[in-house]
């Protein structure tokens, strides 16, 4: 079931994959998928081997005022990455760098379960939310890569609040400030 779920989520994304199609690909009844995983969200988290459930930390990020959202995001990223889920998160990031299916699943996880919810809480047109979300994701991915994977000093050993002070203004600008937004080329 997990292999079928990984394939479906990687090929069709979270929104395009269905429990029925995943069950069919696995050769089982959809009720069995529900029995073992409960919801599509839980199946998705198991399929991407997420080290933490965003529902555990996103309410705190989203509860603060929009003008403090950048700092809340950075603090949360640091808290999650400095916690017990770091080894699993590192494995997920490293596999995404070398494996397209893992990259697709990580991209989908970050987009659907985190970025859409953070950006969606702000009042702006859909195209603007997508562009700002991509910028936020680029900043967070760079922070994670430099601090936890490549361990670039002094960023790697800096106290969390120093990192928040340095990175949050850029994230806040991407979220709500004046910025030239990238456009999609189809």
**Regarding predicted confidence, which is higher, 96 or 26?**
26
Q: Which token pair is 94? A: 């490293």
In the chain, CATH 1.10.10.60 covers 1-47
* Contact assessment for residue 113 and residue 48, using Cβ atoms and an 8 Å cutoff: no
Q: Which fold has domain 51-176?
A: Tetracycline Repressor; domain 2 (1.10.357)
What lies within 8 Å, CB to CB, of 23 at 6+ separation is: 1, 4, 29, 30, 32, 33
Please tell me the predicted confidence (pLDDT) of residue 61.
87
pTM above 0.85, yes or no: no
Note the pLDDT tens digit of each residue in 55-100. 888 888 888 899 999 999 999 999 988 988 787 778 778 777 777 7
Task: Work out the number of other CB atoms within 10 angstroms of the CB of residue 23.
Answer: 19
Q: Which of 2-6, 33-37, 43-47, 147-151 shows the lowest per-residue confidence on average (mean pLDDT)?
A: 43-47
**What CATH code is assigned to 1-47?**
1.10.10.60
Given a cut of 80, whether residue 108 has pLDDT beyond it is no
* Contact assessment for residue 61 and residue 72, using Cβ atoms and an 8 Å cutoff: yes
* Contact assessment for residue 177 and residue 153, using Cβ atoms and an 8 Å cutoff: no
Please tell me the predicted confidence (pLDDT) of residue 121.
85
Please tell me the predicted confidence (pLDDT) of residue 3.
86
Confidence of residue 110 (pLDDT cuts 50, 70, 90): confident
* Contact assessment for residue 62 and residue 54, using Cβ atoms and an 8 Å cutoff: no
In the chain, CATH 1.10.357.10 covers 51-176
């Amino acid at each position: 079931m997990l292999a079928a779920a990984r394939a479906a989520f990687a090929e069709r994304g979270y929104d395009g994959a269905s429990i029925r199609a995943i069950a069919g690909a696995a050769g089982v009844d959809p009720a069995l998928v529900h029995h073992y995983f409960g919801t599509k969200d839980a199946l998705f988290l198991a399929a991407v081997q997420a080290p933490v459930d965003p529902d555990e930390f996103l309410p705190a990020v989203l509860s603060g005022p929009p003008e403090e959202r950048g700092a809340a995001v950075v603090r949360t990223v640091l808290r999650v990455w400095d916690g017990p889920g770091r080894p699993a998160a590192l494995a997920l990031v490293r596999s995404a760098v070398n494996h397209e299916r893992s990259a697709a699943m990580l991209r989908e996880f970050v987009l659907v379960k985190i970025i859409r919810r953070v950006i969606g809480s702000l009042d702006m047109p859909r195209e603007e939310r997508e562009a700002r979300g991509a910028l936020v994701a680029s900043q967070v991915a760079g922070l994670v890569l430099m601090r936890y994977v490549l361990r670039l000093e002094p960023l790697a050993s800096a106290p969390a609040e120093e990192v928040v002070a340095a990175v949050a203004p850029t994230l806040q600008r991407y979220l709500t400030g004046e910025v030239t937004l990238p456009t999609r080329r189809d």
